[in-house]
A and B are shown apart, each in its own frame.
Chain A
């Protein structure tokens, strides 16, 4: 019963967040210089008379007040119709669906890699402060934490794809091959470099936070008490450290989903990987309003769900935290 009430509360909150995102992104679109009619017409703009333009605008409902337009869009949205993308000449929901499938392979593996590797490195570094291993890991983490993702991506392409020729320079598959003919190995080969670059971005952050929590624990009375029981550093790190350090790691891993999404836009651009990030850039540059709004909403949904999962995991890790609240 409690669980059902909790789930309903969470879902209601999620709906509210999405409504706010819809409102803000719609407002931004209205305020932006983007003119959907111009974008729709494209190069044929010169051949269309002002009267014809006005006719199109009227047909699309642009003569009505912004509030009415928003209401109209929202009603369509709730019925599941996200609109038509003129850049890809497909329904927006289909574009997002296809692109997300490719992006999730990139995002998911990069996320998993950065979370697991970042956490392990942080635990190892924090277990023995000031050791050789600690300084190596900390130095590495500090350097990568201050490196811009796109710059790292460009360097990676230059070194591994251009100079060494180990990985392909672009795309999700070889050029001139139909999508369904691309084998899994080839797909992975194309994914390798973007995943590694994107993961490097996340590892540093999680490592530094996990390490900080570990240092705190190793100096705490819990650790001193364990040492008094004859525990070794490894014992303390394994039994107490993993539990204590997983709280900041979980928070960061799920909170960084948004960051990862942002990072993937840059990475997909550099590697010309046809994912959601690239679609976002294309939609922005070519004024594809429905697609841009759809992606904004979808990203908000994705990140909110990530945060919801993190929220639920807290109670599992730390018994002092009660699920529920607000």
Chain B
């Protein structure tokens, strides 16, 4: 469905300090990143802040800021996914559920925004209006929430509106960027359940999160990222017990650091030292 082949992303920055402050330097945010996503699966991309998860999402969508330097190749359904194809497929085949709730326009009623998403996906306006209502109802948003403004919605409701916007576009690849942040367990279940449901319809769902615990119940595969590099891709069943099925030390350590497991925080540094020695 989507194949990422040795993707390298660099962003410019200017060094602070006294030496050569005028010189543009490049920070490598994704480093020879290769990964394949298949239809019908929820693929969790897990990593700490700054691991390059959201940038990966923006690179797939083609929404990177202009000075970014991108190398490597993306393939969508076998064909190269370049900037012009990204522009054509955005909103129709590729959908993004953004991380921040401020992605909702504060001056526009919920249903209208969802209808716009449908229109942007190529549906005629009369149909889009109907589809938006259906999508919102599907995510348990009642008539009052449909006519509400963003600031009148709770965090979980706003999250479900964003999901409805991705749903109504009928995109086959949905990227959800940190969809469970700041939600109570009940709301989180609802939002993650909605993503699982999309995958069960045969769509590809990329779930970007820093919380391994919440991703595991719905994910088929988990990819661990660190510092722009891919550490390991494993089936979610590998994350159990002492994590013996995991091949890399970092993902094992990440698994063991969870409160339900050993809650071991020292393992990361210890194991890293071991690998360095080896």
Contacts and interface: CB of A to CB of B under 8 A. Distances in A.
Interface string B56-72: 00000101000000000
B42 interface: no
B107 A318 contact: yes
B90 A228 contact: yes
A228 B95 CA distance: 7
B151 A222 contact: no
Interface string B125-168: 00000000000000000000000010100000000000001000
Contacts of A235: 120
A180 B92 CA distance: 65
A222 B120 contact: no
Interface string A213-225: 0000000111011
Contact of A230 (B98, B106, B107, B121): B121
Contact of A221 (B61, B94, B102): B102
Interface stretch (A29-37, A79-87, A239-247, A294-302): A239-247
Contact of A229 (B87, B100, B121, B149): B121
Interface in A30-73: none
B117 interface: yes
Interface of A, helix, strand, loop or mixed by DSSP: helix
Nearest to B169: A229
Interface string A199-243: 000000000000000000000111011111111000100011001
Contacts of B92: 230
**Which of A220, A229, A235, A318 has the largest number of chain B CB atoms within 10 A?**
A229
B149 A320 contact: yes
Given A319-B151, A320-B151, A231 B120 contact: yes
B117 A221 contact: no
Contacts, number: 69
Interface string A133-150: 000000000000000000
Nearest to A219: B65
A317 interface: yes
Interface in A289-325: 317-320
Given A235-B120, A244-B107, A319-B151, A228 B63 contact: yes
B264 interface: no
A223 B204 CA distance: 24
A320 B153 CA distance: 12
A240 B105 contact: yes
A224 B98 contact: yes
B103 interface: yes
* Closest 6 pairs between A and B when the two form their complex, measured CB to CB: A230-B91, A225-B103, A229-B91, A228-B96, A230-B90, A243-B107
23 contacts: A221-B102, A224-B63, A224-B98, A224-B103, A226-B120, A227-B63, A228-B90, A228-B95, A228-B98, A229-B120, A229-B169, A230-B87, A230-B89, A230-B169, A239-B116, A240-B107, A240-B108, A243-B105, A243-B107, A244-B107, A318-B106, A319-B151, A320-B106
Interface of A: 220-222, 224-231, 235, 239-240, 243-244, 317-320
Given A229-B117, A229-B165, 5 more contacts: A225-B104, A227-B63, A227-B90, A228-B95, A240-B108
